[in-house]
Amino acid sequence: MLRIPRHSHVAWMQRSEIRESAPGLHSVSSGLRQSRGFTLIELIVVTVVISIVAVGLFGVFMKAVSGSADPMLNMQAIAIAQGYLEEALLQPYSDPNGGETGSCEEGARQNYDDVQDYDCINDTGGALDQFGNPLAGLGAYNVSITVTSTTLGGGNPAAAQEVQVTVSHDALPNTITLVGYRANY
């Protein structure tokens, strides 16, 4: 470091004269000036690179978010199908009053008393409870049930009713189908 005494003739020199007379001081000073901050070009290049990365990540993020509701809709459709299927399979195999017609002879769903009665369910206005009331928030689901007679088993076949519940949603391209069997035991 260059020390300048107070009463020296150098004290009266201009700064530029000191720099010229002390070459090491000049190079340190100009080196500091060059290494401070970024140039405008460097800032623009960094901004462009960050923008390109952000656009790419945003595209991936939007693709993931756009399909994020589909699994929830599928799970709700499965839950609805399970509810309908369980309700039908808990009913007796045949009409306890006799006189099974193989269709909805009971009229309202709350009066269904055997598995065959569920063959006519086609709720296209949304999922309904067993009393025919709409289930809140499930109006976009469509439910249909078909019941067919079949046999189960190989060597000693048993009579059974196959209950097929199909649930679809207005926003989903696929449908959910669950199948259950009610045996005559």
Domain range list for the chain: 23-66, 69-183
> Which pLDDT band holds residue 23 (cuts at 50, 70, 90)?
low
Residue 134 DSSP class: B
Q: What is the pLDDT of residue 83?
A: 93
Within 10 Å of residue 143's Cβ, how many Cβ atoms? 23
**Contact (CB, 8 A) for 139 and 43:** no
- pLDDT tens profile 43-97: 999 999 999 999 999 988 887 776 666 788 888 999 999 999 999 999 888 887 7
- Cα distance between residue 19 and residue 3, in whole Å: 13
- pTM, 2 dp: 0.62
- pLDDT tens profile 95-110: 877 776 666 666 778 8
